[in-house]
Structure 1
């Protein structure tokens, strides 16, 4: 049984570490989400469900790192100037990317934007806070401990494949959408997972993917589009022109638009060609073997 659970050096295989991490995280997340639901209304508005989920992932990550005698910074989590710089660039980059998608959909005659009747600054600020929580939770879950242990076991390429698939399947897709629209939404979500994984791989820090994720989701909401199928109310409201949903994204949001797939594919090409800042900043770590020799 040693070969099943242990590698040649006697260490627990990375595949078991990843599985254990998921199981423990799911249990703690359920508990913390339940506790969050018991908070007074005023606190619920601050400690929203994504932040409870993020806390669960963070605590489990700390526990698993303690067992490995590794610091939290080994996951690419720190509060310093480098992190602030990457986070800010990521937020701006996410907004630019989704803005390009919106412009393409508008140029194709899919919709136009109208100013919301009574835009609220506070609503947009609250949306930014919520999307920060979502980005922290999802990036720590999908590109933190789990992703990095899969990299050690399978190598960076297959880790990207596996985690991008999980990222895609973790998002709900309305069965009422047309089949072509649903296919585009799934493809776009897979590409988004791949792009965010590259953001980590090129910097070896979670600040950039967190920023990109937040900027993308928040600006979607500001423009009034759905965010992965969730309705949002921003400063504008899209008025659709009856074009196929896979052009405009429809009620699901721009993530179901074919233009999202195109823009994300271009972003992936750019990130692949970019040498990144990890080597320059001295934050490198091995990407693991190309085969599952120690998975």
Structure 2
């Protein structure tokens, strides 16, 4: 039984470390969401619920890393000029990606945009603040400590598969969605998880995936599309034409469009071929090569 939990050197297996960090995040995040009900309404408005979840993920990461005698920087969470640069590039990249999807669907007759008179800059800034909390929480959870322990235990390819599947299943898919739209949305979300994982692997920092995640979600909201099925208010409102829902994404948003699958697929190919910046370091202290695997050991590639 001891072999199930610990390796030959007596260390906890990476799978249990990853599972422990996820469960601790759930407990702390849930506790903080409960506590926010005790806060003044002004403070709750200033810090939307995704920020509570991010704080829970951050505290869970700190605890797990403390046990491993590592710092937040070891999982790509740190401040600095490079982090700011990667965050900005990521936001721009996310905006370009989702803008490309919208352009291709639009010129193919999928929809047209009408100006939303009720939109305001303050609403969009609040949306950006909330989406930043969402991006920080989800990237810390899916591509922080748990992802990197999965890399140590399974190798990059299977860690990518596992976390991308979990990333997909963690997103809501309404039972009212047509089966074809749901299948496209799930494939799109899986590819998004894979792409964001590559953003980490190619930089060794969470700033780039956080930026891409933020730029993608915020731009969707600005154009008035649903964000993973959640309604949003932006500068425009999309009016859909008589096209299949799996092509436009419908109420779910552009993430339910087959065009998004194609664009994200190309982004995955580009990131796979990109050599990136200096690679990350695993928990064991070995450096990942530019294909995302420990230099000292052969393993599956991305």
Q: TM-score, normalised by structure 1?
A: 0.95
Counterpart position of 1:30: 30
Is 268-277 or 44-53 further displaced after alignment? Answer: 44-53
Q: Hey, what does 1:241 align to over in structure 2?
A: 241
Cα distance, 1:36 vs. partner? 1.4
- The residue that corresponds to 1:148 in the other structure is 148
Deviations 1:71-103 (A, max 9, x none): 110001111000000000000000000000000
SS in 1 for 2:237: strand
Shift of residue 38 of structure 1?
Answer: 2.2
Name whichever of 31-40 and 246-255 sits farther off: 31-40
Q: 1:67-106 residue pairs with structure 2 within 5 A?
A: 67-106=67-106
- Show the 5 A alignment for 1:33-48: 33-48=33-48
**Which residue of 2 is the match for residue 10 of structure 1?**
10
Corresponding residue for residue 203 of structure 2: 203
Q: Deviation of residue 279 (structure 1)?
A: 4.6
**2:187 aligned residue:** 187
In the aligned structure 1, how far is the partner of 2:116 from the partner of 2:52?
A: 31
SS of the aligned residue for 1:276 comes to coil
Higher relative contact order (CA 8 A, sep 6+): 1
CA contact (8 A) 1:204 1:284 kept: no
Partner SS, residue 176 of structure 2: coil
Distance 1:284 1:126, change over 3 A: farther
Spell out the pairing of 1:121-160 with structure 2 (5 A cutoff). 121-160=121-160
Comparing 95-104 with 10-19, which one deviates more in the overlay?
A: 10-19
User: What is the SS of the residue equivalent to 1:242?
Assistant: coil
The SS at the match of 2:113 is: strand
1:220 matched to 2:229: no
Secondary structure in 1 matching 2:46: coil
Structure-2 separation of matches of 1:254 and 1:83:
28
Unaligned segments of structure 1, at least 5 residues: none
| Matching residue of 2:287 | 285
Helix, strand or coil for the counterpart of 1:238?
Answer: strand
Structure 1 residues 221-274: Cα deviation after superposition (integer angstroms, max 9, x where no partner): 000000000000100110111211111110000000001000000000000000
Shift of 1:148: 0.3
Structure 1 CA distance for aligned equivalents of residues 279 and 34 of structure 2: 42
Distance of aligned partners of 1:290 and 1:130 in 2 relative to their CA distance in 1, 3 Å threshold: farther
**Distance in 1 separating the partners of 2:55 and 2:64:** 14
Verify the 8 A CA contact 2:279 2:287 in the aligned structure 1: no
**RMSD value, Cα:** 1.6
Instruction: Quote the Cα distance in structure 1 between the aligned partners of 2:298 and 2:169.
Output: 24
TM-score (norm 2): 0.93
Q: Distance in 2 between matches of 1:46 and 1:242?
A: 40
